[in-house]
Amino acid sequence: MSRGVPQSTMGELVTATTGEQYYIIGKNRIKITEHFPVNGKRIEDLITDLIADKIKEKVAKTS
């Protein structure tokens, strides 16, 4: 447990036999889902775009 964080605020990540993931804290269970549009960019493309944008930001700051 993290130092300074009360036990009551700590949750638990659980994976059901169906593969669904839930975050459980106290009596609350939150289903974890990801939403990507069917015709949207692939995750590889999103990460590549993010890296390129961060490089541009860094270059702009140092210029």
DSSP state of 21: E
- Identify whether 14 is part of a domain: yes
Q: Which residue has the higher pLDDT, 49 or 5?
A: 49
- Identify whether 1 is part of a domain: no
- Identify whether 48 is part of a domain: yes
- Identify whether 34 is part of a domain: yes
On the question of pLDDT at 50 being above 70, the answer is yes
Q: What is the DSSP string of 22-33?
A: EEEETTEEEEE-
DSSP bridge pairs for 6? none
Number of domains present in the structure of the chain: 1
- Identify whether 33 is part of a domain: yes
DSSP state of 8: G
pLDDT, tens digit, 9 for 90 and up, residues 16-48: 999 889 999 988 999 988 766 778 888 888 899
The parent domain of residue 52 ranges over 7-62
pTM of the model: 0.41
Q: Which residue has the higher pLDDT, 1 or 29?
A: 29
